[in-house]
C-alpha cells in the first residue's frame, strides 16, 4: 500500500502528504473528513469495505508559520530532475555551488545545483560563464505547492484542484 494521500488544512489549502493507513486513521478517528476517494481501490477488512482516501481535510486548522520546502540534498536533486545541470547525465551526481563558496557563494536554493562529478571538477573554482559551461536551467527556490505538485513522486488526479491554485511557480 505505497499510495499517498493529500492532507488539506481546514481552509482546503494543501498541508502535507501522508500514507493511506495514516489518512484512514485520521478519518476513522473523526479528525479529518474524506474529500476524494479512489474509484479503483478499496480498503477491506474481514467484514467491511471502506473507500481508499486520496484527499482528506482536517477538522481543525493547523497554523504553520513557515510553509516552505526544506533545502536538502535530495530535494535539490528532485528539483533538478536527478540530472546534471551542465551535461544532463544521471550518473555520479553531486551538488555544485554555482558561485563557488571560496568566492562568496552562499549555500542557498538559488546557488546550489545538481552536477555530475566530472562537470563539477571541470568547473572547479569558476562560475559557469567563466568555465564556458552553460546551465540547462538556473537554480531556483521551489514554492511549497510547486514542490508537492511536481516533485513529490506521486500526484493523484484528485489532488490537482487543490495544488493548482494559490501559489506561483517561482
CATH of the domain at 96: 1.10.30.50
How many structural domains does the chain have? 2
| pLDDT of the residue at 167 | 44
Which residues have a Cβ under 8 Å from the Cβ of 162 and sit 6 or more positions away? 6, 8, 12, 13, 14, 55
What is the extent of the structural domain holding 152? 4-66+143-163
Asked if the structure places residue 130 within a domain, the reply is no
Give the integer Cα–Cα distance in Å for 159 and 72. 25
Give the integer Cα–Cα distance in Å for 163 and 147. 10
Q: 62-118, pLDDT tens digit by residue?
A: 887 766 788 899 889 989 999 999 999 999 999 999 999 999 999 999 999 999 999
Task: Please indicate, yes or no, whether residues 58 and 78 belong to a single structural domain of this protein.
Answer: no
Asked if the structure places residue 149 within a domain, the reply is yes
Which residues have a Cβ under 8 Å from the Cβ of 121 and sit 6 or more positions away? none
pLDDT band per the 50, 70, 90 thresholds, residue 165: low
Amino acid at each position: 500500500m505505497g499510495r499517498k494521500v493529500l492532507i488539506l488544512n481546514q481552509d482546503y489549502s494543501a498541508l502535507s502528504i501522508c500514507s493511506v493507513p495514516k489518512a484512514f486513521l485520521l478519518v476513522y478517528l473523526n479528525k479529518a473528513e474524506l474529500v476524494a476517494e479512489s474509484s479503483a481501490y478499496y480498503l477491506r477488512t474481514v467484514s467491511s469495505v471502506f473507500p481508499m482516501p486520496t484527499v482528506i481535510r482536517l477538522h481543525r486548522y493547523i497554523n504553520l508559520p513557515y510553509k516552505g520546502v526544506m533545502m536538502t540534498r535530495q530535494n535539490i536533486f528532485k528539483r533538478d530532475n536527478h540530472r546534471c545541470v551542465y551535461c544532463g547525465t544521471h550518473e555520479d551526481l553531486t551538488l555544485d555551488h554555482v558561485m563557488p563558496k571560496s568566492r562568496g557563494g552562499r549555500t542557498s536554493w538559488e546557488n546550489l545545483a545538481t552536477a555530475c562529478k566530472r562537470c563539477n571538477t571541470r568547473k572547479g573554482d569558476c562560475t559557469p560563464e567563466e568555465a564556458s559551461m552553460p546551465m540547462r536551467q538556473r537554480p531556483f527556490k521551489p514554492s511549497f505547492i510547486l514542490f508537492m505538485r511536481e516533485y513529490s513522486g506521486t500526484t493523484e488526479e484528485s489532488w490537482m484542484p487543490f495544488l493548482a491554485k494559490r501559489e506561483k511557480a517561482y
